[in-house]
Structure 1
C-alpha cells in the first residue's frame, strides 16, 4: 500500500488531483486509515491508466472515469471509447485537410496564393458553386 503522497509522486500528479479524482469517482483508494488515503497495486494501475488518458488531452474526466471504471456500468465504457474514437477520426480528417491546404500555400508559386492561385480559386468555386 502506498500513501496518497507516494502515489502522487509515482504518477507525477498533485495530491489534490488524487483527492479530486477520488471525489469524482475516478479511482477510490484501497483503504483509509486515520483519514489518510492508501492505494494498492490495482488502484495504482487504474490511476496510471487515467493519467495516460488525461495526458492525451483529448478525453474529459467524465470519459476517463467511465473508461477506468470498466464494466461496472455495463458497456458504457465501450460507448465512451467508440464516441471518442469517432471524434478523433473526424479531427484527423480536419487536420489532414488543413495540412493539405497549408502545404499547398507553401508550394504555390504565386506570391499571394489566396489572391492569385488558380488551383485554390478552382477549389473555392467548386465549394461555392458558380459565382458568376
Structure 2
C-alpha cells in the first residue's frame, strides 16, 4: 500500500518531543520537574508524552521569550484542560492575561531608554538627581539607609 501514511502515535517519547519541539531532552525533564508538562511511565520506566505536550511546550517557549517567569507560566498552564491540546481561544485568554505585564515592562524600558543618555551623560550618576535611580529625589523623603530603587518616577 504505497503512499499511505502510518497512523500517528498517540504518545511520544522524550526524544520525539525534543526533536519536534527543538528543545533538549534535559529542558523537557526540567519542565516536567517544574510541573509545566507531564508524562506517564511505561513498564520499562520510559517517559511517554501525550501529543498535546507539543502545543504546551510551544506556549512555554513563547511565554519565556516574553520574559514571563516559569512560575507564572506554570500557573497559567494549570488553567488549561488536560484532556485536549490548548486551542487558539486558550492562547488568546493566556496572552490577554499577560498583556498588561508586558505593556508595563515596555513602558519601563521606554522610560529607561529615554532617560539613559542624560543619566550617563551627566558623568556623576548622582543618587540625588538621577532620573533613573532616584526620580524626583523621592528617596530623600525616606531618610538615610539602603533602599530598593525600583520606583517608577513617572
Q: TM > 0.5 between the two?
A: yes
Q: Going by fraction, where is helix more abundant, 1 or 2?
A: 1
For these two proteins, the number of residue pairs brought into alignment is 106
Which of 43, 49, 58 aligns to 1:39? It is 49
Which of 3, 19, 32 aligns to 2:29? It is 19
Query: Offset of 1:28 from its aligned partner?
Result: 0.3
What is aligned with 2:71? 62
What is aligned with 1:91? 105
C-alpha distance 48-87 of structure 1, shift in aligned 2 (>3 A): closer
Corresponding residue SS for 1:70: coil
Deviations 1:69-104 (A, max 9, x none): 2157xxxxx79x74x5443222212222233345x8
**TM-score normalised over the length of structure 1:** 0.60
**TM-score normalised over the length of structure 2:** 0.53
CA RMSD of aligned residues (A): 3.4
Query: Offset of 1:114 from its aligned partner?
Result: 4.2
Corresponding residue SS for 1:28: coil
| Mapped contact 1:11–1:51 kept (Cα < 8 A) | no
Runs (5+) with no aligned partner, structure 2: 1-10, 82-92, 124-130, 138-154
Moved over 6 A (4+): none
